[in-house]
Structures are given as C-alpha cells and as structure tokens.
C-alpha cells in the first residue's frame, strides 16, 4: 500500500521500492532531511501517487516485481520530465548505463548510505530545478534547425512530428546549447552545467554524449552539423533558437 508522510517541505519525493524496510528507512531519513515523502511498492501504486500528488523527484528501484525499474523509467520519461534516481542492487555497470540511457538522472547502488542518497537527491534537484532555470529555459518549446526540444516532456520532435527520446544527460546538454546558441561552450562549462561533477572525471563522457546527441539529431556525419566542434575551444550549437 502506498504511503504519504505529512510535512511542509516544498519538495516531495516518491520512493518506489518493493522492500518495506527500505521504504520505511528512506521515509524516515528523507523526512528528517526536510523532504515530504510518498512511497509505493510497485508500478501500479506509483501511478496512483503520481495522479494525486505533484512529485519533484522519484527514487526508483531497478529490481521490482512485474514491471521492473527500467520499464517504469522508460514509460515515465515518455510522458514526464520528473527527475529519476535509480536504486540498483546489481554491480554490473551495464545496468547503470542502460538506466541512464532510459532517461534516469542518476543512480545509487545498494547497499547505500542514506546520507549519500540525500546528497545525490539534492544534487539532481539542483541541476533540474530552480537553479539552472535562471540561465536555461525551464518550460515551453525551443525550435532550432528543423527540430523542437520540448522542455517539459524532455524529448525532441523532428520536422515530421516524430518524437525522439533523450537520456537525462542528453536532455541537459541540449538544454544548455539552446540557451546559448551560436556561442562556443567549453567542455568544462558543459560538464559543470550538466553534471555538477568535477571536469576531470567527466572529460571523456562529455565527448561521448555530444556524439550521441549528434547521432540523434541525424547529422553526426553531415558536413555542417548542428553541433559543431570548435578546435581547441569546445562546441557550438550553430542555429538560431526560438523559444515559445
């Protein structure tokens, strides 16, 4: 049965985990950290909570009965931009990569320290919430080069109206680009604005994400790609952007 703790905290978290002990532990720890908390044991309960509550972030267990975390993450991302942190008991990096590709914003392996999870939650909320919105558009649609980025549903729409899903990292990256079109952004700036993590640890990851984004934009091999490489400087979105 789903549960909702009371509280005046402005940010409400939804914990989706079939382990009652973990739900209870996280409810207690996160409430103590000034979050309002709702819990659900499976996908059906999760949907019930989402229908009646405005949720700011979902902590989603990978290993759920019936519908697993990856399936739920994919369906959530198809209709919502709510930030998602995945809990995984598996140690194989492939599970984490697949989770991030499905659109999760971060992952925390089990067993975990509640303090670490709280830090990750705050970091993701900072990245996806009010702080970046001062610089980057937070809602509406950004049109550029025949594409539209839906800033609320966090997906791309091509010229024919086809929806192209984005991972959490790809969405954050493209949002930074559409906020500052025709301006060269260094790798370090892109890492800082999209991950909040040290540049050195993400140096290779940013190039890989740019490559994947170009591929989704369908012009990774084009002579004039939308995202251009500026040698020894960084990358630039070479297109006019209209935000509506």
Look up the CATH number of the domain holding residue 154: 1.10.10.10
Same structural domain for residues 76 and 117? yes
What is the rounded distance in angstroms from the CA atom of residue 32 to the CA atom of residue 137?
32
Please give the tally of structural domains in the chain.
2
pLDDT in tens, 18-58: 999 999 999 999 999 999 999 999 999 999 998 888 888 99
Q: Which of 125, 65, 128, 74 is nearest to 98 (CA)?
A: 74
Cis peptide, bond prior to residue 111, ω within 30 of zero: yes
Q: Is the pLDDT of residue 71 over 80?
A: yes
Q: Band of the pLDDT at 63, cuts 50, 70, 90? A: confident
Top-ranked range on mean pLDDT: pick from 36-45, 65-74, 87-96, 215-224 = 36-45
What is the rounded distance in angstroms from the CA atom of residue 73 to the CA atom of residue 68?
9
Same structural domain for residues 33 and 121? yes
Backbone angles phi, psi at 54, to 5 degrees: -90, 110
Q: Is the pLDDT of residue 165 over 60?
A: yes
Give yes or no for a contact between 42 and 65, defined as CB atoms under 8 angstroms apart.
yes
Give the domain CATH number at 93: 3.40.50.2300
- 8 forms bridges with which residues in the sheet? none
Same structural domain for residues 25 and 111? yes
- Residue 9's pLDDT is 42
The answer to whether residue 136 sits within a structural domain is: no
pLDDT in tens, 94-119: 666 676 777 788 888 888 888 999 99
Same structural domain for residues 12 and 114? yes
Share of the chain above pLDDT 70, in %: 81
The answer to whether residue 196 sits within a structural domain is: yes
Which of 99, 128, 157 lies at the terminal end of a domain, its last residue?
A: 128
Give yes or no for a contact between 191 and 199, defined as CB atoms under 8 angstroms apart.
yes
Same structural domain for residues 109 and 189? no
The answer to whether residue 134 sits within a structural domain is: no
Same structural domain for residues 44 and 98? yes
Same structural domain for residues 86 and 202? no
The pTM score is 0.55
**Which structural domain, as residue segments, surrounds residue 48?**
3-128
The residues, ordered by sequence, that sit 6+ positions from 229 with a Cβ below 8 Å of its Cβ are 235
Same structural domain for residues 169 and 237? yes
What is the rounded distance in angstroms from the CA atom of residue 18 to the CA atom of residue 42?
6
């Amino acid at each position: 049965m789903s549960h909702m703790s009371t509280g005046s905290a402005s940010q409400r978290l939804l914990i989706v985990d079939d382990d009652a002990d973990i739900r209870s532990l996280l409810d207690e720890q996160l409430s103590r950290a000034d979050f309002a908390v709702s819990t659900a044991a499976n996908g059906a309960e999760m949907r019930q909570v989402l229908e009646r509550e405005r949720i700011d972030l979902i902590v989603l267990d990978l290993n759920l009965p019936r519908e697993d975390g990856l399936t739920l993450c994919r369906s959530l991302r198809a209709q919502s931009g709510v930030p998602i942190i995945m809990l995984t008991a598996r140690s194989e990096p492939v599970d984490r990569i697949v989770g991030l590709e499905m659109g999760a914003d971060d992952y925390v392996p089990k067993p975990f320290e509640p303090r670490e999870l709280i830090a990750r939650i705050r970091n993701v909320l900072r990245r996806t919430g009010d702080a970046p919105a001062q610089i980057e558009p937070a809602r509406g649609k950004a049109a550029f080069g025949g594409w539209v980025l839906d800033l609320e549903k966090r997906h791309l729409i091509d010229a024919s109206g086809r929806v192209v899903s984005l991972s959490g990292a790809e969405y954050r990256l493209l949002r930074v680009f559409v906020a500052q079109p025709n301006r060269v952004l260094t790798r370090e700036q892109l890492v800082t604005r999209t991950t909040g993590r040290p540049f050195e640890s993400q140096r290779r990851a940013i190039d890989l994400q740019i490559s994947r984004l170009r591929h989704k934009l369908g012009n990774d091999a084009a002579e004039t790609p939308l995202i251009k490489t500026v040698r020894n400087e960084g990358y630039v979105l070479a297109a006019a952007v209209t935000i509506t």
